[in-house]
Structure 1
Amino acid sequence: MEFLQQNWYWAALAAASGAWLMADLIRNRGDKSQLSPLEATLLINREDAIVIDIRDPGEYAQGHVPNARHIPAGELARRSGELEKWKNQPLILCCATGARSNSALQTLRQAGFDKLYNLRGGMMEWQKAGQPTSRKRK
């Protein structure tokens, strides 16, 4: 008890951090469109999912998921027709951290795509998980 009194700020920080993690867990629990790098790899291997990298050209050139198609976020609505041939396959959107690609899901949903997924954590998590990257253009 004395420790908590003397270090109340650490206890408060731990409680706040735990609450934030729980809120994030609860918020994403029902969202099946968010994939971890491992889940994305399984979807690519088992169902021939197509990865669409929506980062800027410079980011894409630094390394991307092997065989990922590159369509920058700003061009996604205009170029969604290029994806029509894969309309019945799962599409995994990818960016640097997962934020831009998560919002880009809406663009493709409005274009009539159903099997849409977001690489949670983007390329940052992909690389942290030790997954391969490529610099070849697709």
Structure 2
Amino acid sequence: MNTVARRIGRSLALVLPVVLVLSGTLAVTRVAWSTSGSESVLAASSARASSAAAPRRAHELLRDRLVAELREKDPGVALTHLQEEVNRRPSLAAHCVSLARTLGRAAVAKYGPREAQKFARPVCDTAFAAGVAQQAQRGR
């Protein structure tokens, strides 16, 4: 009996936060993906793309900053700043899922799977929760 309850508890511990995050994401009614002004999108020049010492991309810099922030403070702060950056710079939306998963993995490394899951939020759908679950599976 005790093992059955334990299995149900573990399953709920992993599934319930994902459901809560997903339901929160679905509750969002409007996201401003672009500004009201007309903006043009420019492709990178071939000279820049082929340079060996190309500067790091914005999403890579953001990822490093957010992971450092997560380690210094907590995942909730990092997730809030991720959402703010994606709102401020819509071009980062394409990288939001991978950034949130990275934060989920880093949260498991710092707090463990159970504690890390408590920080899940509806940022980039359920990517943070997926990163936590993915890292928890690797740890077994």
TM-score (norm 2): 0.30
Structure (1/2) with the larger strand percentage: 1
Q: When the two structures are superposed, what TM-score results if normalisation uses the length of structure 1?
A: 0.31
